Amino acid sequence: MIILAATPIGNLGDASRRLVEALANAEVIAAEDTRTASSLLRALGVDNRPRMIALHEHNEVERAAELVELAREQDVLVLTDAGMPAISDPGFPLVQAAAAADVTVTAIPGPSAVLTALALSGLPTDRFTFEGFVPRKSRVPALSKLAREERTMVFFESPHRIAESLDDMATAFGGDRPAAVCRELTKLHEEIRRGPLAELAEWATGGVRGEIVVVVGGAAAASLDLPTAIAQVLALVEGGARLKEAATEVADATGLGRRELYEGALKERGR
C-alpha cells in the first residue's frame, strides 16, 4: 500500500509513535527531499536505511505510475519536508493514480500547519476554507473573488512576499478585516500576530521571518462598503476583465448596484 505520513512542522517532539515505527520498518520511502528525509530519520534516532525515491513537484506526475506499481508488492511510505503529503505538497497525483489503479492508500495523521494556525488565530473555526499559497501574480484580482467568502480563510505565504500579500488582502477584503499572521508554528520563536489586515500589512513592512500561515476572517453577511467594492472592480480590470463585466461580478457578489460600481470605477480611473 501507499502510506502518507505527516511529519513535524517544526518541533520534532510532535513526531508520533506511529511515524517513528513506520520509519523504522520502511523499505521504500518516497520523499519530497531525500536529504531531509534522511535527516529526519537521524534526528528521531531511527536506525534504518530504506530505499529513497525522490518525489517532488517536478517529477511527481511521471513517477506516480512507478510508485503505484511498486506499492502492489510492498509498502511505500510517502514523506514531505513538513506536514501531510498532498496538502500544498507533493502527493496528490500519486493518490489519484493509486485510487485509479485500486491500490490501497492510507495515512499516518499528524501535525498540520493549517489546523494549528486556525486554532491559534482567534477567528471562527466552525467553518473554514484552505486556499493554499497566495497567488504570486495578479493577487488582488484573485483574492477579490474570495471577498464574499463567509468562512474563515487559511493561506500559506513566504516571508519575502508576506508584506505585499497582506497589503493586497487589505485591498481585496478591506483593511478592517480581522486576520492573524502565524509564523514559526511549534518552533522556539513561534509568534501569532492578530489584528486588522491594514495594521498587519504595515507591521509586515518591517520584515517577517520564518514559515508563515495567514488566517483571514470571513466576510460579514452585509455587503462591502462602496469604496472597497469599487477597489475590487478596478482590481478585476487590472487583471484583464472588462469594466462592465467586473462591475457586474462585484455587484452580484456584494449586492451593491452594478451602475454605481461602474460609474464609481470610471470616476476613480479618471483621477
CA distance 40 to 125: 31
Q: Which H or E element spans position 29?
A: strand 28-31
Reported as a pLDDT band with limits 50, 70 and 90, residue 71 is very high
Percent share of the chain, pLDDT over 90: 86
pLDDT category at 270 given cuts 50, 70, 90 is: confident
All residues at 6 or more sequence positions from 261 whose CB lies less than 8 Å from its CB, including other chains: 226, 229, 230, 233, 247, 250, 251
How many residues are listed for the chain in this entry? 271
The 3-state DSSP class for residue 40 equals helix
pTM, 2 dp? 0.80
Write out pLDDT tens, residues 121-173: 999 999 999 999 999 888 999 999 999 899 999 999 999 999 999 999 999 99
154 near 131, Cβ under 8 Å?
yes
pLDDT in tens, 30-69: 999 999 999 999 999 999 999 999 999 999 999 999 999 9
CA distance 234 to 222: 21
Residue 246: beta bridge partners? none
Type of residue numbered 270:
G
Q: So what's the pLDDT on residue 221?
A: 66
Grid cell at residue 207: 520584515
3-class SS of residue 56: coil
Q: Which three cell numbers stand for residue 254?
A: 456584494
What's the distance, Cα to Cα, between the start and end of the chain in Å? 62
Question: What's the distance, CA 183 to chain centroid?
Answer: 13
Residue 271: per-residue pLDDT? 67
Q: Quick one: three-class SS letters along 179-236?
A: EEEEECCCCCCCEEEEEEHHHHHHHHCCCCCCCEEEEECCCCCCCCCHHHHHHHHHHH
Q: Starting at the edge strand that comes first in sequence, how are the strands of the sheet with 212-216 ordered?
A: 128-133, 152-157, 212-216, 178-183, 191-196
